[in-house]
Structure 1
Amino acid sequence: MILDALKKRMYRENDKAPRRWLKELPAMVWGLRTQPSHDTSISPYFMVYGAEAVLPADIAFRSARVENFDKGKANEVRELEVNSAKEKWLDSCVRTAKYLAVLRRYYNRNVKERFFVVGDLVLKWKTNQAGVHKLATPWEGPFMIKEVTRPTSYRLAHLDSTDVPNSWHIDKLRRFYA
């Protein structure tokens, strides 16, 4: 997020000031820390300090928040904010849990559980692809599953029963249909 914000702020045609990002970084970090999160609807600043930050623009342009500040009621308002901070924090925890549940559902909808049994034919991902044409297949084989070492790890053998060194994770294997 920081890099994305810096790139948007830094890009200027024909300007090559390599260290300008150092001057822009504090403003970017401040902006990200005081901006409410989409997931929790609360800013990271609020999560740490229990109150929203007074931005420099609020002071410069005399916002309603700054104009209505009363030193006498400040302690009372601060006490009320401290009491409501835990409630807002718990609310943000609930929102985060809902957001993560949506992400989990989306991920699991597109993932199909795979497994192999001894004797299945598989293709193995080529570990060294140096000098291979970009349109060539990245898979080699077929190989036979010799042993299941873990639920997602397998030992392979060539079709002539010679062993392939090492175990192979299921992410590096693909079913071979003869």
Structure 2
Amino acid sequence: MNGAVEAANKNIKKILRKIVDNHRQWHEKLLYALLVYCTTIRSSTGATHYMLVYGSEVVIPTEVEIPSLRIIQEVGLDDAEWIRSRHEQLMLIDEKRVDAVCHGQLYQNRMTKAFKIKVNPRRFTPRQLVLKKIFPHQGEAKGKFAPNWQGPYMVHRVLSGGAVILAEMDGRVTTKPINSDAIKKYYI
């Protein structure tokens, strides 16, 4: 959930950067940025956030000032017809949400397929020499000009799913498996 909030905040900040000059009065434009964010169709679901929550598209302030065909049609309804129309819209919310879930699953399948085309799986064998990546959060990461790889290590055992257990060159085996994405072959 936290990742979704961070992604939403990032997108709202992008929108704000486009409509605010020099970081001034961003708070005055925030409502417009939120309106844009909630009313933009997401490629992952094929629907807007507003549609998924409320079951109908949002009425933007411009449509109130200059009535659109949708607003004109709703204004012409008497109370009973409007209630019936709104009730029908609310009954369709679940169907629209199911459509969005299906669209999202298709989107994920497309993204997975596109990702797998680009991925070259790394295959390692026991006793093969490798280097291990130094990640920024590790104590070995010393700065911009420090090496990015450490080792060499020897592959002790290959696990399913692309993980391996490494051994030091003196034969000491590490107990913690490492993802094969974080190692590369070492050539002498």
For normalisation by structure 2, the TM-score amounts to 0.75
2:176 is matched with 167
For residues 49 and 184 of structure 2, the distance between their equivalents in structure 1, rounded to whole angstroms, comes to: 43
2:56 is matched with 51
* Misfit runs of 4+, over 3 Å: 146-151, 162-168
Give 1:23 deviation, angstroms: 2.0
Conserved? CA contact 1:156–1:168, under 8 Å: no
What secondary structure is seen at the aligned counterpart in 2 of 1:154?
strand
Q: Residue 117 in 1 paired to residue 125 in 2? A: yes
Select the structure that is richer in helix: 2
Q: 5+ unaligned residues in a row in structure 2: which ranges? A: 1-10
2:41 is matched with 36
2:67 is matched with 62
For residues 102 and 63 of structure 2, the distance between their equivalents in structure 1, rounded to whole angstroms, comes to: 30
Pairwise CA RMSD:
2.6
2:166 is matched with 155
What secondary structure is seen at the aligned counterpart in 1 of 2:92?
helix
1:9 is matched with 19
Give 1:142 deviation, angstroms: 2.5
Conserved? CA contact 2:122–2:181, under 8 Å: no
2:32 is matched with 27
Q: 5+ unaligned residues in a row in structure 1: which ranges? A: none
What secondary structure is seen at the aligned counterpart in 2 of 1:124?
strand
For normalisation by structure 1, the TM-score amounts to 0.79
Percent sequence identity over aligned pairs = 22
